[in-house]
Amino acid sequence: MNIIPVIICGGAGTRLWPVSREAFPKPLLKLADGQSLLQKTFLRATRVASEKEVLVVTNRETFFLTKDECADVRADVSRVGFVLEPSARNTAAAIGVAAQVVREEHGADAIMLVMPADQLIEDEAAFGVAIEHAARAAREGQLVTFGIRPTCPETGYGYIEYEAHPLPGTDAVHKVVRFIEKPELRVAQELVADGHHLWNAGIFCFTAETLLAELQCHAPGVLEPALAAVEEARRSTASDGFSVELNADRFNEAQDISIDYAVMERSDKVAVVPCELGWSDIGSWLAISELTAPDPEGNRIHGEAELYDVGNCFVRSDERLIGMVGVHDLIVVDTPDALLIAERSRAQDVKQIVAKLKRANHQSYRLHRTVHRPWGTYTVLEEGDRFKMKRIVVKPGASLSLQMHHHRSEHWIVVSGCADIVNGDKVISLQPNESTYIPAGHKHRLINPGVLDLVLIEVQCGEYLGEDDIVRFEDIYGRAPAA
């Protein structure tokens, strides 16, 4: 069977703040083994792809991060396609555009296996068996979802009620009776006890044609803009893959609705495969903590910590030593610019902090102190009245845009690597311990011509130092002329 895995890589993961942020979303979160959730999903996808091809739907702004994450793992894959969304319009639009791309590339009967980029599956052998059952039902026109047999009355998941007897011609696929929103604890206990309810995993299997037909029937406000966005997309191809950059005007017209609300709860073709996969959607720090073995006091530590009379706590720190005395049942997550402290029982409420930060337009809901760009990273080291210091790392062969600032001048000092610099009408090369000065109003560009990272220190001076004081004249990454 021609199975094309489709990875939906979106969602800020607000319950995993301060590690997950809008410009560095949840799928990029690294686990204790050094792999990100996206990388684990990508490797899983390559193992089930019959054509050794994977399609990834991601945001245009995080495309370079998503592509790098996939490229950094050794995977048995011949081609990777990327569908680039100009904005977030929820899962119905994301899956709709993916279905159209799959239909164009592989035909209407191609089977899509749609997977979120931020889940863990421990039993991949069982997952493979479930996919086989789902794919056979998908060939018969079913919209198949994967349901996880519940192990506890979880209130953070949606539930699926299903008929006891399998569909004719199958022994493991059942008709869905209804979907149930995240229930309160009493209801969740009843659903788990009756044996006919499953957790909704958000994993789907169907042919491209079936999904598009059901969208046309139940959600034309999603489908028609999605098709137009693909038709008017900007495309590029290479030997190892392709990208489809959706037309922003068309895509932004799509209804903002989930695939569950748009189709799965309305169609009469919906079926479910009950599974036991060792599945987790890593939806909170409580779920993350369960991935680390506890010490005798029930504490789970990721990083460096010294504890005294502490019990049942989760501590994550990537850089600093954390000391804790006489506390219990806490979640502590430390990053260079933000610290989270929460009761374990309130892990789901972390998203409320992010909502408050967003309303206040505080940059920590969106950016880390180290900010990723297509060419590398920059880290704000210190800032004050009329000055800002950054550590800039430019990847080998990469370059910043040809740009200009109205309100600030910049001093660049090379620490390691080599730099080619456009500064007004001059082009110069700098080695370590050499520097240059760029006045406000000068066109300039930073290029790394070497094979090693270029590291430099930038000192900005001026009356306004915001990141939006950038006018771009040329950019190899296709970003807007003005930021």
Q: At what angle do helices 90-106 and 220-231 cross, to 10 degrees?
A: 50
Structure tokens at 326: 């006489």
The pLDDT tens digits of the residues spanning 148-207 come to: 999 999 888 899 999 999 999 888 999 999 999 989 999 999 999 988 999 999 999 999
Question: Strand pairing partners for 212?
Answer: none
Per-residue pLDDT reduced to its tens digit, 257-311: 999 999 999 999 999 999 999 999 888 999 999 999 999 999 999 999 999 999 9
Q: Which residue has the tokens 């026109």?
A: 141
Predicted confidence at residue 483, as pLDDT, reads 43
Confidence label for 478 from pLDDT (cuts 50, 70 and 90): confident
pLDDT at 78: 86
Q: Residue 301: name the closest of 320, 314, 290, 311 by CA.
A: 314
CATH 2.60.120.10 corresponds to the domain 370-474: yes
Query: Cα separation of 410 and 174, whole Å?
Result: 64
- Spatial separation of the C-alpha atoms in residues 71 and 78, rounded to whole Å: 12
Cβ neighbours for 38, distance < 8 A, ≥ 6 positions apart: 7, 9, 27, 28, 66, 69, 70, 117, 118
Distance CA 345, CA 332 (A): 13
CB burial of residue 110 (10 Å; 0-12, 13-18, 19+): buried
**Residue carrying the six token digits 């490229």:** 71
CA nearest to 357, candidates 338, 335, 385, 371: 338
Structural domain boundaries of the chain?
Answer: 3-280, 294-351, 370-474
Strand partners, 474: 402
Contact 131, 113 (CB under 8 A): yes
Beta strands 3-9; 111-116: pairing state? parallel
Query: Which sign, positive or negative, has the C-alpha torsion 28, 323, 314, 356?
Result: negative
The pLDDT tens digits of the residues spanning 27-56 come to: 999 988 889 999 999 999 999 887 789 999
The correct CATH number of 3-280 out of 1.10.10.10, 3.30.413.10, 3.10.20.30, 3.90.550.10 is 3.90.550.10
In Å, how far are 377, 383, 391, 419 from 414, measured between CA atoms?
A: 15, 20, 10, 8
